[in-house]
């Protein structure tokens, strides 16, 4: 399994990647600070899951999800935000999960607030 992790702050991205490594020790984790670099990576590699913050640069997390799905249509997509302000938009975008910051291994295991969607694969 290859998981792409996208975040805007080094500390948060490193912490989130470490949490995902705990949950999925056999997965290949690819962390990107630049959302366009993440999309370019997905265009050149098979990606099974994407965990992206909503507010990334130079493009936002919803754009990351949309673009990665173009080349990896079966990718699992998870959005991470500071508030639930984007929850309805996330549901409309049919993402697989929505998590509130700060994230931890426990949050990523059971903190999906899109209750009608599947939780992160464990």
- For 54-103, the pLDDT digits (tens) are 999 999 999 999 999 999 999 999 999 999 999 999 999 999 999 999 88
Is 89 among the domain residues? Answer: yes
Is 117 among the domain residues? Answer: no
Full domain range(s) for residue 16: 2-110
Is 122 among the domain residues? Answer: no
Give the pLDDT of residue 47: 96
Give the pLDDT of residue 115: 61
Q: Specify the CATH number for the domain of residue 51.
A: 3.40.50.2300
Is 119 among the domain residues? Answer: no
Is 101 among the domain residues? Answer: yes
Is 116 among the domain residues? Answer: no
**What is the domain count for the chain?**
1
Is 118 among the domain residues? Answer: no
Pick the closest to residue 31 from 46, 50, 54 (CA basis): 50
Cα maximum dimension of the chain: 33
């Amino acid at each position: 399994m290859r998981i792409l992790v996208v975040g805007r702050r080094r500390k948060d991205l490193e912490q989130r990647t470490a949490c995902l490594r705990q949950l999925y020790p056999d997965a290949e984790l690819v962390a990107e600070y630049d959302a366009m670099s993440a999309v370019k990576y997905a265009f050149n590699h098979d990606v099974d899951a994407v965990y992206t913050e909503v507010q990334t640069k130079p493009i936002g997390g919803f754009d990351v999800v949309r673009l990665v799905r173009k080349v990896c249509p079966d990718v699992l997509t998870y959005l991470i935000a500071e508030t639930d302000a984007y929850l309805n938009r996330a549901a409309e975008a049919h993402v697989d999960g929505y998590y509130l910051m700060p994230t931890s291994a426990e949050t990523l295991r059971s903190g999906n607030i899109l209750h009608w969607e599947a939780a992160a694969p464990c």
